[in-house]
Chains A and B, each alone.
Chain A
Amino acid sequence: MKHAEIILTPEQQSMRREELRADILRPLQKISFLGKLWIAFLVVIILIGGYAYIQQLKHGLIVTGLRDYATWGIYISNFVFFVAISLVGALISSVLRLTNFTWYRPLTRIAEIIAVAGVVWAGLIIIIDMGRPDRILNLFLHPRIQSPILWDVVVISTYLTTSVLLLYLPLLPGIAICRDRLTDKPKWQRWMYKFLALGWTGTPDQWKIMKKSITILCVVIIPLAISIHTVTSWLFATTLRPGWDSTNFGPYFVAGAFLAGTGCVIIGMYVFRKVYSLEKYLTDAHFGYMAKLLVFLAFVYAYFNINEYFIPYYKMRGPEARLLTDLFSGQFAGLYWSAQILGMALPAVLLMFKSMRKPLPVTLIAIPVVVFAWVKRYLIVTPILLHPYLPIQNAPASWMNYFPSWIEIEIVAASLAGVLLIITLFSRFFPIISIWETLENEGIELDELDELNNTKNEKA
């Protein structure tokens, strides 16, 4: 798999290079009307969310559906979801790389940009949830290292930095190609390429440094990725609440995160393949591999779910029993079973059939995986808060239940649009498929590629 079986002649290699570059730079040339409409749509959603947030700043969190019992709601579940999908960057570009798989290489950039967009908005949404965002500096002025929130601040910022580097470094040759090829772009954009390319010319030294850095980052990012989501699970597991007070929470969250992120990458692959006509690079085989990965991860996640829900269910210990009854057959049963069946069990079973492992069915199956991954995070946050040790009595009706307000829904929609906007804009300015990694995968020499590039520059 690593090298193509047929050894290409230098002419064929150079043709292949040119073909690949042309294919991958095409989406950067011109944005279609539909493409513009999509960006406009996302911007409008974000603006509405921005207006909603201004209302929240003005009146306080009273504008949300949150009250003294359900004190965390969809902001926090959305935060957990974003952290979850950001783990896939580490999975695809690091775990697969270090285990010597090569098929993943055209997918790395999609996975990395999902990771970066997810973790950026995870950071933003947690600030939106704060009652006093104006006092955010207190985290640095009066930090208390005992608090899992501080651990989260540390790992999220480290993970964001590492993810951005892991996105950026392999992109250097791509930016250099943009710099050299996209000369008809506006001045600021050409300047941006020139600035971001860091003077990349593709000398053997540059390649050596870059590849070495990537290897280091790939090793570093695995413990970071596991930490970021484990620490996020500890925001819940460090409390004494029935339903959160679980030693299973760390691996349970990490497993669910890999599943959700893989679903996101599959959807991303399908969209980019269709919209940017990348059928030659994001092949049916890639969907097949990702489908198999999804099956594997769904089984791992199912294992942790059984531990998380069915062992307490076997015991039916007092306060936890009330929660489990509500999840299994009470007010949350519809959402709970949809999440477990449509978001995990059924996709795993369906994708075991070879006929299902084609791009369209895989994508259609990945959609509920992602949607119910979000729902599952809601089920992890709010029902537990509504089932405390002491009964909820003598409280207004709005405290007994939680339903997100329009303000909350608009802000969460804006954050989802924000993730999509980052991914969309990135793919409009930078190659969404790593050219050199794909070429290397096909056994085409890289040094030549850039020597060729350099001579062209000199001529120009």
Chain B
Amino acid sequence: MSARAALTCLEMVELVTGYVEGTLVEDERHRFDAHVSHCPDCLTYVEQMRLTIDALGSVPPESISAGAERALLRAFRDWTREERGNATDPGPRRGI
């Protein structure tokens, strides 16, 4: 155990993101582990934060609408034609 005072539950809820992210300094991490190992309520809290993160990660984004996709494809065709036009066209064509 660290020489510093044991962590309180109030401190735990502030440190939990650093704990989950792995950014706590060693001493803090030890105090965190020591607290959670004998505080079932805080263990529940840490578990709920993990479940929350997983749940956030499983919300799928809306997919882009078919109409918007078609509009983008049409625009892409125009943009690239323009680009190629600019790159290869040396100027007004002479009659070939």
A-B interaction: no
Q: Which residues of B contact A (CB under 8 A)?
A: none
Q: Which residues of A contact B (CB under 8 A)?
A: none
